Amino acid sequence: MAADFLAACRGQPVERTPVWFMRQAGRCLPEYRALRRRHPMLEIVRTADLAAEVTLQPVRRLGVDAAVLYSDIVVPLAGIGIGLRLEAGTGPVIDEPFRSATDLRRLRRLEPDEDVPFVGEAIRLLVKELDVPLIGFCGGPFTLASYLVEGGPSKSFTRVKELMLGDPATWAALAGALADLAVTSLRAQVEAGAAAVQVFDSWAGALTPGDYRRYVLPAARRIFTALGDLGVPRVHFGVGTGELLGLMASAGPDVVGVDWRVPLDEARRRVGPAVAVQGNLDPARCLAPWPVVAEGADEVLARNGGRPGHVFNLGWGVQPRTDPGVLARLVDHVHEVSPPLNRAFAAGEAPHG
């Protein structure tokens, strides 16, 4: 049901638990890989009809309840002139990493129509085609800062933490500028037709709760507050954020995304009753035999116990070797299994009330 995704984000009752997959548009689909043989990633992102086509591929094939724009969280950075490239299998690589306060000058305000016109164009194409909501997205402050400062993906995040802990004033200015970038980007995506937004602060889980609260939460709060008037559901997500779920919920999103490490009932306890949850099947589980996949999905649904405010998803992006047939079957399975649970909750008979 096209309406279920938005309703679930808002904590309202749904007919069937809605499903989408992070990175549903991408390497697990043969039609995407065929396109990628002809076009580099950033070229697809920057060509509205190609980006729209890739965004539509999983909607056609998988039966998901939402589309997610094919793009990358570093696209707005490239848009304001930060030199970078997307390396397949690695991630974003920044030509000249940020190392001091003077680098802040390189962050100017995003002008969506001039800097990333293809984003709005792709969204406008998509809303004409889609019969499910389109999710727009951006990177969160810590995650974008980590790419800028580390120069690319990191295992230890030592350089970005060095800046954060050693020069809090520069850090605050950087995080604030990245929050503004996020707001400008997301507002433009919603104005073009996105019906929901997700902030990927994917790597925030590398921080202690104390450091997250002090150095990242203010910028995260700024983002969600500045989007409030748009009236679209706002999702806040990171991996490995078990200890941060309550703080991430306090930033003001409608939905908190949960990876696979925290059981969903415990995640709900941490985010509190006012915020919906999204997740939380281990993406690697989708490579296992079907009964194991189904068992995992059933556990996620049982731990939610039919409560309103659950969007089914993986705990992180679809793994490239995933069989899209399994994902399609998973969508059907969640749709088939969840109505009785959802009805039981409505009738006050939830197995995990």
Catalytic center residues: 23, 27, 36, 72, 147
> What is the identity of the amino acid at 167?
D
Other C-beta atoms lying within 10 Å of the C-beta of residue 264: 26
35-43 contact pairs (CB < 8 A, 24+): 40/86, 41/72, 41/86, 41/88, 42/72, 42/78, 42/85, 42/86
Q: Does 289 bind a second copy (CB under 8 A)?
A: yes
Binding a second copy by CB under 8 A: which of 111, 165, 332, 336?
165
Q: Does 169 bind a second copy (CB under 8 A)?
A: no
Q: Strand, helix or coil at 73? A: coil
Give the DSSP H/E element, type plus range, for residue 241.
none
Q: Does 265 bind a second copy (CB under 8 A)?
A: no
What token pair was written down for 278? 């999204």
Length of the chain: 353
User: Which of residues 106 and 159 has its CB atom nearest to a second copy in the complex?
Assistant: 159
Binding a second copy by CB under 8 A: which of 15, 31, 129, 299?
299
User: Using CB under 8 A, which of the segments 11-19, 106-114, 186-194, 286-294 binds a second copy?
Assistant: 286-294
User: Which of residues 32 and 215 has its CB atom nearest to a second copy in the complex?
Assistant: 215
Q: Strand, helix or coil at 140? A: coil
Q: Does 319 bind a second copy (CB under 8 A)?
A: yes
The closest alpha carbon to 277, from 240, 312, 233, belongs to 312
User: Which of residues 292 and 346 has its CB atom nearest to a second copy in the complex?
Assistant: 292
Angle of helix 141-150 relative to helix 158-166, nearest 10 degrees, comes to 110
Residues 133-162 contacting a second copy, CB under 8 A: 156-158, 161-162
Cβ 266 to a second copy shortest distance, Å? 8
- How many residues contact a second copy, by CB under 8 A? 32
Q: Does 211 bind a second copy (CB under 8 A)?
A: yes
- Helical H segments across the chain, by residue range: 2-9, 30-38, 41-46, 48-62, 75-79, 112-115, 117-129, 141-150, 158-166, 168-192, 209-211, 217-227, 245-250, 264-271, 290-304, 324-346
Binding a second copy by CB under 8 A: which of 10, 36, 261, 343?
261
User: Which of residues 12 and 208 has its CB atom nearest to a second copy in the complex?
Assistant: 208
Give the interface with a second copy as residue ranges (CB under 8 A). Answer: 156-158, 161-162, 165-166, 205, 207-211, 240, 242-243, 260-263, 266, 282-285, 287-289, 292, 299, 319, 321
